[in-house]
Amino acid sequence: KAGVTQTPRYLIKTRGQQVTLSCSPISGHRSVSWYQQTPGQGLQFLFEYFSETQRNKGNFPGRFSGRQFSNSRSEMNVSTLELGDSALYLCASSFSGDQETQYFGPGTRLLVL
Amino acid sequence: DQQVKQNSPSLSVQEGRISILNCDYTNSMFDYFLWYKKYPAEGPTFLISISSIKDKNEDGRFTVFLNKSAKHLSLHIVPSQPGDSAVYFCAASARSSNTGKLIFGQGTTLQVKP
């Protein structure tokens, strides 16, 4: 069974631009969660989608948004990029999201210049 | 407010010995805990989990212990191998959240010396 895939793996953007990251969950998984990893803040929860609905959202500004499609694939978008948005963005999938193991993709490394 | 804490940023052990990684939490609603291993520039890899109805879970060389009264969990790796060298994160979730939201500790870097 294929694991969680994320595209692109690396991305360089400039301040003010926007970016869209993609995540394909493990086949059969309906929950997709997104996390941001930075050296100073560690791994922080961004949001979670289940059956195309956002079920929970972390403490991030509205510039961070996401969506999920009917095939459970998910995208996250960051608008008006800031230098501090440079991070490793990770998505994780599970069957239902609740009290389950989440399996992570390799991440997308975003550098904002 | 850091709800999950890993107070030791790093740990160094000799190959073949036991590695013990610790994690404390403050939210009494947490009832499911996981340990992940992470290499630089890669996603976390799941190691082992434990539900709050148990106090111990074992999988091969990895054992997780949960002390609910102390709000403390630990991961034991026996015997430690050089390939275990990585950053280890503990994570917690609350059933009441009813969502896939994990709260992570800051991580502990384990170095296993040959």
The tens digit of pLDDT for each residue in B76-108 reads: 999 999 999 999 999 999 876 666 789 999 999
Q: Helix-strand-coil percent breakdown of chain A, rounded to 5?
A: 5, 55, 45
Q: What is the pLDDT of residues B6-64, one digit of tens each?
A: 999 999 999 999 999 999 999 998 999 999 999 987 899 999 999 999 999 999 999 99
Select from A48, A96, A109 the Cβ nearest to the Cβ of B101: A48
Distance CA B20, CA B54 (A): 19
**Would you say how long chain A is, in residues?**
113
Q: Give backbone dihedrals phi and psi of B95, rounded to 5 degrees, phi first.
A: -60, -30
What residues of chain B lie within 8 A of the CB of A56, using their CB?
97, 99-101
CB contact under 8 A, B100 and A107: no
Please state the rounded mean pLDDT for residues A30-50. Answer: 91
What residues of chain B lie within 8 A of the CB of A109, using their CB?
41
CB contact under 8 A, A33 and B100: yes
pLDDT for residue A97: 67
CB contact under 8 A, A104 and B44: yes
B112: distance to nearest CA of chain A, Å? 22
CA distance between the termini of chain A: 37
Cβ burial A48-77 (10 Å sphere, 16+ → b, else e):
bbbeeeebbbbebeeebbbebeeebbbbbe
Distance CA B14, CA B12 (A): 7
**Would you say how long chain B is, in residues?**
114
